Structure 1
């Protein structure tokens, strides 16, 4: 009897040990809660912006072009120099020198000179001939006048002599004019013989035929296209001028994003090298264009123009064609229910997320409104204070136990 009583505590202790070991084994085999990042649904302000890169642009850029074909001299102007309307000479253009000729053309021009010289000699001989005939007709006319005054000759003979006289006189005028024409033809033929290898030709051309182009508007030189002396065709650009104080921002937005904004929408200009600037949308062009993205995808873009609202002295360091980053406000609300975008995923063509209900993950479908790059507006499916799982892994499924991730776990 005493022996049985002494064995009872030992059996109880052994049973407790076995039960503890079985419980520990069961606990080890049970699935552990998954550590997750949790966020709480709350109300806060929401601002939705359309973000894209843009470039600054002077509103009125004047491209100075060559009004005539010729050689533009090297300009003393530099980019940034100030020009005055109607006063500053921005370019000086001279006609190009005569083109070089081949041997055959030189022979043809020399032959033309000799032909013109012969024509001059022929015209001179004709002038001498008609002069002699004129002197004879003049003598006959004077003689007929003398005889007619004495009544020796008839009136018809006098008229004939007078006609001959006037005819020969007109022939002299015609011969002199023909001689002058032949001389000018000879002069033109000799001028055509002049080539670019003769320095007098170039000097005479530059001194007598240079054309000064003056600035059409006051401003500053933006870019010099023809810096050094070179030959230009008609309409070739020489330089560009504009007023840096009259600056605007041009952004090529996706057409799907452009329809979300209207002229007058506020915007912020960032990443230009200074503090963010305030601006507003002034113009949305009515037509779009196709642009190839960096990934080779065709995109329909629309040029959107913004006006800077801050004073010019704040952004005076900005210039023409500078890169900026634009954020255009498309939507703003002071009090909406927000959920982080990291908690959302697509399921059955709907937005869904994992909410924490009683320590377990529960899949919920939600209806979203506006959203930006960080948060989305929840219209239906969640209440304020609900907890959602951020960036759920493939281990998180409906009904699995979860626990908030801390520094300890």
Structure 2
């Protein structure tokens, strides 16, 4: 009976198809030459692919110029000779030993739970060990520098022009501080260096300096690194995990590994743009850090989405123009895979929110996430100067947004 039903159904479908494909006869010549009706309006179609569009208005052109400037930051880490010099400052034996110990613990935990592979690979443990050493004994956080004359605290009084020597070392601006001791009155200069190799000597700073120097050390150890610029005045890095086969969030200032929701759920911030820059190009990774744009998304008004796509493709083509075709195809495949991953992040969160809003849904009791706990710990850290939402801020009101980097 099943075979007979399928045969009858197939015959019916073929007959319907042959009748629908035969052209209808025209009654006369005039009917044949009637004007073709206009196509339907496509204004209601949603989710069509964006077409990259060059910037036209002044604001979008300025944003394009800024992104091209920011894209040069990770290119400063690509000097092999200087990377070898920087690697000599890293206690490799200590870091490898700590990474090996944590890796063995992760493997034992995975085996006890019946998992084939641990959640973190050896490289992931190596990154965490490097970050622990970097924060603990190598780089120091500076809000207001102490007076070099008497060692007393200082107070910010404004900005100053960098000297020729400071310019030569990559300082675009200098903060001026005055000693709080009236008998001293010494003025202390705090150059904001952008050269990671100079920071290897000074070993102090705030968010921009920390991320710049740490990213360069990761490159020195042979890791694939991205520098992440955030329009809300924060920066961090992403490192490609060979074990997890994806880009992983790493914030050396906060000591956080793979906690992309730290800034939204932890700090309570709204993020507009998170752009990743590397020697391979640029990528808009905002969807990794903002899963619910209604709750945690900021206004993306610096340019249109097609214009942002155009600028990102422009930077990618600039970085990859001298690569061999196989390498270009490999990077293109990575871009497509990451875009799918970011889209899945949004879909999963939307599905979870929808399920929890259905009548009769069993809601899981609210618990503090790792991101929220990390954000609370960061807010309680007395060594940071933070804004009202827990974001790292600068104590001097004369700073400009670009000075943070």
- State the TM-score, normalized to the length of structure 1: 0.18
Q: 1 or 2 for the larger relative contact order (CA 8 Å, sep ≥6)? A: 1
TM-score under structure 2 normalisation?
Answer: 0.18
Max radius of gyration: which structure? 1
Structure (1/2) with the larger strand percentage = 1
Q: Which has the higher helix share?
A: 2
